[in-house]
A and B are shown apart, each in its own frame.
Chain A
Amino acid sequence: MTRVFDVFAREFMDYFTTPIAYIVICAFLVVTGWFFFATFFIMNQASLRTFFSMLPLVFPFVVPAVTMRLFAEELHSGSLEMLLTLPMDLSDAVIGKFLASSAFVAVMLAPTLSYGIWVSFMGGLDWGPVAGGYAGAVLLGAAYCAIGVFASTLTRNQIISFILGMVICLALSLVDKMLFFFPPDVLAVLHYLGASSHFENIAKGVVDTRDIVYFASVVFLSLYGAHLVMQEKR
């Protein structure tokens, strides 16, 4: 467990020693801030719903940018050989890197708390759905981070890793918006597979174990897949 923490701490610090963290955070805040406040006064509602409803579409572009380097860079530079010949299991490295990227996504979300504070000055903000929204956002971010970690193990090229991660995440975000393309028999399955509806349930403040189980399974399957891919490379 302490080795997971060592990997986590190293990876997390690494985000902030390179400009990548600041660029990603700025881009995220500009895009979400602009889209949120552009319609905020037209909607004339003191809530963060439009902000949260954007996340399933914004995260597929932002989160893979955070995770793309995790394994791809190490495979490219060869530093993975240094890491894995320390007294460390492969799973320590996978989990540590996943936790570091998830924590980074949480840090990226933190400045948006100020949106809530501004909105609460303008009208009575109901903090319940806001709390639910952040819980959902962290779960969604973690699930996409796990997918990003998986995509990162597949290639030593960070750009390919980013695009792979983006495609998978975007597919999960959009699948339940495209249900009209599919035959009715598989609708229920596809609806369950889509991340957006699970996210929206939690963001509404409805905490259902099905939604928690969904995100936990995405994380588990992705990390397990990452582990298998890395194991296969040995």
Chain B
Amino acid sequence: MIHMEKLTKYYGEVCAVDGIDLDIRKGEITGLLGPNGAGKTTTMRMLTGYLRPSSGTIRVRDLSVDADPLAVKKRMGYLPESAPLYANMLVYDYLLFVAHARGLKGDKARGRIFAMVELCSLSGIMHRPIGELSKGLRQRVGLAHAMMDDPEILVLDEPTSGLDPNQIVEIRDIIRSFGRDKTIILSTHILSEAQATCDRIVIIDKGKIVADGSTEVLTYGLGEGRSLRLVLAGADLEAARSVLAPVEGVVSVEGAQDAGPGLTALEVRYLPGSDPRPEIYRRIKATDWVILEMAPKGVSLEKVFMELTREA
């Protein structure tokens, strides 16, 4: 659906985006993740045709953003960071302007506006000036702006930044309910946000892609090995270690925190690619211990993120 090739952008001497190659498939929700100044916004601005790349190409389907910007913009809805809307205008007037500018006229424009009012729950604020709205409400008007023409591609720059947890959930629900078959690209530096909303996460740092994969792949696949948290009743640490350490693939068995009184919590680390869980279960079954908890522990996305983007 979207194909970026060697995308580069210089601001004077400063390189904001440094040769990004990225393919985004139809229907995918992609999260662009990175520290501030990593090049997320610049990448999105080039994708939406607001900025011209210094070099490299972006194609949306078979259209080039550079050669055919109008056709690309027609298929794309874009919400810039912190929704910079016309503060003087009433919400209704603004949405009408957007509908007209997107070529919707008359009843069709009204129909789409009402659909957006429904989707983004704007009915109470249609006659208030945008400048007087709270941040969360303004963000919802911004989403209505972006989704007005039912675009195939939705590009959202930090759609939830600066919002409270309830508003974040609302915005996330709006994005989700917008459509399963839509291609959505959103940027964020909140990791739990990306984990909750996106199918795929692309981590950008200093203008380069440093990791790209599904949320699961990133949390389990990167980092050295996996670990398993076990909580046992009737065992002690030494006995458990002597039973579990010989299992194939197990690297270490350590005591862990947060067990209740009389319980033993363990962290069992094992090699990536091996799965010692069935064997661990069989061995514990042979004793008179009781398994109260057995849970895989991924390396958290926070950790992956910090690992990948820390200062060299």
Contacts and interface: CB of A to CB of B under 8 A. Distances in A.
Contact of A79 (B48, B86, B93, B103): B86
Interface stretch (A52-60, A82-90, A164-172, A184-192): A82-90
Nearest to B98: A86
Interface in A56-91: 77-79, 81-82, 84-89
Nearest to B74: A87
21 contacts: A2-B100, A3-B101, A6-B100, A10-B89, A13-B93, A14-B89, A17-B89, A18-B88, A77-B84, A81-B78, A81-B84, A85-B50, A85-B73, A85-B80, A87-B74, A87-B102, A87-B103, A88-B73, A89-B69, A234-B50, A234-B52
Contacts of A88: 70, 73, 101
Contacts of B251: none
A6 B97 contact: yes
Contacts of B51: 234
Nearest to A3: B101
A81 B46 CA distance: 11
Contact of B80 (A3, A10, A78): A78
Contacts of B52: 234
A82 B88 contact: no
Contacts of B49: 84-85
Interface string B46-79: 0011111000000000000000011001101010
What's the dominant secondary structure at chain B's contact region?
A: loop
Interface in B75-123: 76, 78, 80-82, 84-89, 93, 97-98, 100-103
A2 B73 CA distance: 16
Contacts of B74: 87
B45 to A, nearest CB: 7
Contacts of A82: 78, 80, 84-85, 145
Nearest to B93: A13
A100 B34 CA distance: 41
B158 to A, nearest CB: 13
Contact of B101 (A6, A17, A81): A6
A2 B103 CA distance: 8
Contact of A84 (B50, B85, B86, B88): B50
- What 5 A-B pairs are tightest by C-beta distance, nearest first? A78-B84, A87-B73, A85-B78, A81-B80, A87-B74
Nearest to A77: B84
A80 to B, nearest CB: 8
What's the dominant secondary structure at chain A's contact region?
A: helix
Contacts of B82: 78
| Interface range on chain A (Cβ under 8 Å from partner) | 20 to 34
Interface in A1-39: 2-3, 6-7, 9-10, 13-14, 17-18
Nearest to B105: A2
Interface of A: 2-3, 6-7, 9-10, 13-14, 17-18, 77-79, 81-82, 84-89, 234
Nearest to A14: B88
B112 to A, nearest CB: 14
A81 B87 contact: no
Contacts of A18: 88
Contacts of B76: 85
Quick one: which of A7, A10, A234 has the most chain B CB within 10 A? Answer: A10
A6 B105 CA distance: 11
Nearest to A79: B84
A86 B100 CA distance: 10
Nearest to A88: B101
B84 A85 contact: no
A87 B98 CA distance: 10
A17 B88 contact: yes
Nearest to B73: A87
B168 to A, nearest CB: 22
A87 B82 CA distance: 21
Contacts of B97: 6, 9-10
Quick one: which of A6, A13, A87, A88 has the most chain B CB within 10 A? Answer: A87
Given A81-B80, A86-B98, 4 more contacts: A2-B100, A14-B89, A87-B74, A87-B101
B55 to A, nearest CB: 14
Contacts of B84: 77-79, 81-82
A69 to B, nearest CB: 10
Contacts of B80: 78, 81-82, 85
Contacts of A6: 97, 100-101
A79 B85 contact: yes
A3 B80 CA distance: 21
A86 B145 CA distance: 9
A208 B84 CA distance: 46
Given A81-B84, A234-B51, A86 B89 contact: no
Given A78-B80, A82-B145, A89 B50 contact: no
Nearest to B145: A82
A89 B49 CA distance: 10
Contacts of B73: 85-88
Contacts of B50: 81, 84-85, 234
